[in-house]
Structure 1
Amino acid sequence: MSATERELHEQHRTMTTDLAAQHGRVKAFDPDNAEFDGQYTALVERAEELLAFEQQLPARLAEPQRLRSASIVRWAWRAQTALAAALIIATLALGRTGWWLVLLIPHLLATLMGWSITVTAQRHRQQRALALALQGQGVLVILVVLGMLSPWWVIAVVLGWLGIGALSEDGPAGQGVKK
């Protein structure tokens, strides 16, 4: 258990203990007693604080993982942008046919658009997996462009782009990634 998790669980335990103690104080007073209203109000306030804390708890517990995923996603898309630029330069420098630019320029533009992906707490694991799949896609692009695989593998590259793009986009397939 991380320090953050421990602190959050300790804070929850403290709030629960305080609520139970406040409940005990309310039960000690007769409802007709003048102090009963003040104690009861304090009980309700503590209960509302605990409920608000419990609603935020899942997101707060997931935050360290989300931050790690955000870093992975950010650098994966940036690495693919650098790869696409390097492949464009290599293709031109090696005198390869200009037709490879039809494959590489859209790859470059798509990876530039990926820089704006917001990693959400609900989908950070899926977004991290997509970023890692993008790296595999990049290896496939390298192998095809440099001639290590048959040009027929362009079909796999395009299908990979469609899959990664569909799952990274807003809508039913991507389920709400904010860009």
Structure 2
Amino acid sequence: MAAAITAASSLTVSSSLSKTKTPLHASKPVNLPFPVSVSLPCKNRLNRTLRVVNSISVSDPGLRTGPDDLVSSILSKVRQTDGGLSLTKEQHKEVAEVARELQKYCVKEPVKCPLIFGGKLKVLDSEWIQVIFEPPVLKIGGMKFKYGFESEVKLQISYIDEKIRLGKGSKGSLFVFQRRQ
């Protein structure tokens, strides 16, 4: 799998498949035909060198190569954001940009796709569904309490695959649903 990275000054990259080290002296993206492993001269408390393995961030959507890269990008942007609540305005824009790119790869009638998943779904037309969410359950010790009532949202499915489903709400909100593994 090829990778593209931008080097700020110079960086030595070594493949986990060989002992070869490739020095990079560039300020433009460099395509590498092997997995990337970067060793940084950073020491932790136990005086061991820390390694970053296969971690590449691509902020320019023009450098993404297809839906798999876009799905990984959107999931990394929304992960651990408390349902998107902790995203800044700029981060919301980045997520929306990736969602627009992913929409180009959506199947024709996403609601008929066998990959559709999640809660109670009611098909409204070829792109729109109504999702009914169960009320949240509060667990205290061995006791469970339902908290509130069912809620629902109408979503236009803009992308679906075996990992995620993207939906745009009737008021413009973006929903990113990830399939449980």
Which protein is bigger by CA-based radius of gyration?
A: 1
With normalisation by structure 1, the TM-score equals 0.19
TM-score calculated relative to the size of structure 2: 0.19
- Greater percentage in helix: 1
Higher share in strand: 2
